[in-house]
Amino acid sequence: MRGIFLLALLLLSACQHVAAPPPITGEIRDLRSGQTLTAQELIVRLAKPSRLIVGEQHDNHDHHELQLWLLQSLGERRPQGSLLLEMLTPDQQVRVDDVRKASTPPADLPGALAWQSGWDWNLYGPIMRFALAEPSPLLAANLDTLEVRTFYANPPTLSGTRTNAASVKDELLEQINDSHCGLLPTSQMPAMLAVQQQRDRRMAERLLAAPTPSLLFAGGYHARKDVGVPIHVLDLGEPGAPMVLMLAQQGGEVTAAMADYVWYTPATPAPDYCAQMRKQFGKQADG
């Protein structure tokens, strides 16, 4: 009987380290080896590094469901040191800390956090509610509005050879142009690039300062190993880059230069943002 009891305890202990099935199916690939992984195998690997970045597509519902699952699953394997979000700015940190210390959650949680309307609360709300209830810190990783305006008006020079490489800046300029549907005046491009790279630098600084194991959720270009936060981490003197998991829609291209792992989610129809942007630019021109 004692042997059976001990066996039951061992089985129970083992079960505590098995994450629940993910809410979204899709191919998971180790980009260094080309190996296809199960979700459970991925969790085992992601639980090892001291710093992890997960790149997302901001408007993809599946990606946010997976982020919540990752948070829960990693927490079952080891204590989480901290969670950092691109979606939070320094001037929101006091509000985040106040909500965490409150005995009961506020009735209007987005209002209490001064949540920015550019981030769809329907997508980020479940992650925020879970993270606010956890004992580990929830940290702002972005610039505040005043900093963005300052960097836009007077673009500073970044230190570091990797972040100043022409190939990095060219890739980011192309992404900025594409994301604005080719409508940005050429004269604005250097300032936009400066803001993008200052965001990356801030996220890198915050990631390095955060309690480990630390986890950063950010947009795909911020997460990329070849142009984003990881090269800023290296330029700040850290000997190794954070591990990167990229969440991407099926049909997208993610290479080993961009990430360590990719999780391809089902392709979903995207709104025609360019049509909306052209309409807005047309209104401004008419005005």
Residue 284: the pLDDT is: 54
Single-letter residue type at 72: Q
Q: Rounded to an integer, what distance in angstroms lies between the CA atom of residue 241 and that of residue 227?
A: 12
Any alpha helices (H) in the chain, and if so which ranges? 2-15, 39-46, 61-77, 93-101, 109-113, 121-133, 145-153, 166-179, 189-209, 220-223, 229-235, 273-286
Q: Rounded to an integer, what distance in angstroms lies between the CA atom of residue 104 and that of residue 37?
A: 40
Low-confidence stretches of the chain (pLDDT < 70) are 1-19, 272-273, 276-277, 280-287
Q: Rounded to an integer, what distance in angstroms lies between the CA atom of residue 26 and that of residue 15?
A: 24
Report helix, strand or coil for 90.
helix
Residue 282: the pLDDT is: 62
Judge contact between 247 and 237, C-beta under 8 A.
no
Residue 269: the pLDDT is: 78
User: What domains, with CATH codes, occur in the chain?
Assistant: 21-286 (3.40.50.11550)
Phi first, then psi: give them for residue 145, nearest 5 degrees.
-60, -40
Residue 283: the pLDDT is: 55
Report helix, strand or coil for 124.
helix
Q: What is the pTM of this model?
A: 0.90
Q: CB under 8 Å to 273, separation ≥6 — which residues?
A: 181
Q: Tokens in use for 191?
A: 């300032």
Q: Rounded to an integer, what distance in angstroms lies between the CA atom of residue 169 and that of residue 172?
A: 5
**227-270 confidence digits (pLDDT tens):** 999 999 999 999 999 999 999 999 999 999 999 999 999 998 77
Q: What is the dihedral of CA 122, 124, 59, 187, to 10 degrees?
A: 120
